[in-house]
């Protein structure tokens, strides 16, 4: 188990999740290969989290809009553990893998006391309507899944709290960290998964099951 004490948060960039080219198997495989190489290169960056500084994310005052058009604050998620990630809906490579990992965690955790949250890093394109369409496309049960979009400055603030880096590239896509975060019922970070390997996801599912 990797509890928050001693967790090393690796801020590993990956390549942009999409491309101006038509999507294809060859292109996706090449993008995934580059993505994994770049993540490995960044694996030594970052400082350990100081548990004393591990504030509740539910203290932030920003407002967010859900896939159903509701305006909420993060504290609306309190009361059950949450598995969260920052991604965006037009991503073609890394983000679908993030969602797949989260769905595996949901399947293996076998708990109704766990919610799942995706926060968009592309609020310009990820309107509530786009989030709703994405939830349908990815078969995300809205009783467990919340998709959020917000103001760019609020997205930056939350990314800093999660330890996620992202950068918009010339083609309009994003390079970003692949981090899945587990929050306890009070909104504090208790676990983070850096990367999208099957073994890492299994460890995260095991941790969530133990909560």
pLDDT digits (tens, 9 = 90+) for 95-118: 999 999 999 999 998 877 899 999
Contact partners, residue 86, CB within 8 Å, separation at least 6: 118, 119, 120, 121, 155, 158, 159, 162, 164, 166, 176, 177, 179
With tokens 């350990």, the residue in question is 48
Q: Which pLDDT value is given to residue 91?
A: 93
Residue 103 forms part of a structural domain: yes
Residue 4 forms part of a structural domain: no
Q: Which pLDDT value is given to residue 172?
A: 84
Residue 14 forms part of a structural domain: no
Residue 196 has pLDDT above 50, yes or no: yes
86, containing H or E segment: strand 81-87
Q: Which pLDDT value is given to residue 186?
A: 95
Residue 7 forms part of a structural domain: no
Domain count for the chain: 1
Residue 12 forms part of a structural domain: no
Q: Which pLDDT value is given to residue 49?
A: 40
Lowest mean per-residue pLDDT among 21-25, 54-58, 184-188 = 21-25
Residue 69 forms part of a structural domain: yes
10 Å CB burial of residue 127 (0-12, 13-18, 19+) is middle
| pTM of the full structure | 0.78
CATH number of the domain that residue 41 is part of: 3.40.30.10
pLDDT in tens, 3-52: 333 333 333 444 456 544 444 444 444 444 444 444 444 333 333 344 33
Which residue range(s) make up the domain with 59?
25-210
Residue 152 forms part of a structural domain: yes
Q: Which pLDDT value is given to residue 8?
A: 34
Residue 195 forms part of a structural domain: yes
The whole-number average pLDDT for the span 124-144 is 96
Calculate ∠ Cα 191-100-135, nearest 5°: 105
């Amino acid at each position: 188990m990797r509890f928050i004490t001693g967790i090393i948060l690796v801020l590993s960039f990956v390549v942009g999740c999409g491309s101006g080219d038509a999507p294809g198997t060859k292109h996706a495989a090449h993008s995934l290969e580059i993505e994994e190489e770049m993540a490995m290169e960044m694996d030594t960056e970052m400082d350990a989290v100081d548990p004393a500084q591990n504030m509740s994310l539910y203290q932030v005052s920003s407002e967010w809009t859900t896939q159903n058009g509701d305006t909420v604050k993060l504290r609306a998620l309190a009361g059950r553990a949450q598995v969260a990630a920052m991604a965006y809906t037009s991503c073609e490579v890394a983000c679908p893998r993030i969602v797949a990992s989260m769905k595996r965690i949901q399947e293996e955790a076998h708990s109704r006391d766990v919610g799942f949250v995706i926060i968009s890093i592309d609020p310009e394109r990820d309107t509530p309507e786009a989030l709703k369409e994405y939830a349908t496309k990815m078969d995300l049960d809205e009783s467990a899944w919340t998709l959020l979009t917000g103001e760019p400055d609020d997205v930056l603030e939350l990314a800093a709290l999660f330890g996620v880096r992202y950068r918009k590239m010339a083609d309009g896509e994003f390079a970003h960290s692949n981090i899945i975060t587990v929050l306890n019922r009070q909104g504090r970070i208790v676990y983070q998964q850096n990367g999208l390997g099957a073994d890492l996801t299994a460890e995260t599912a095991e941790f969530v099951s133990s909560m």
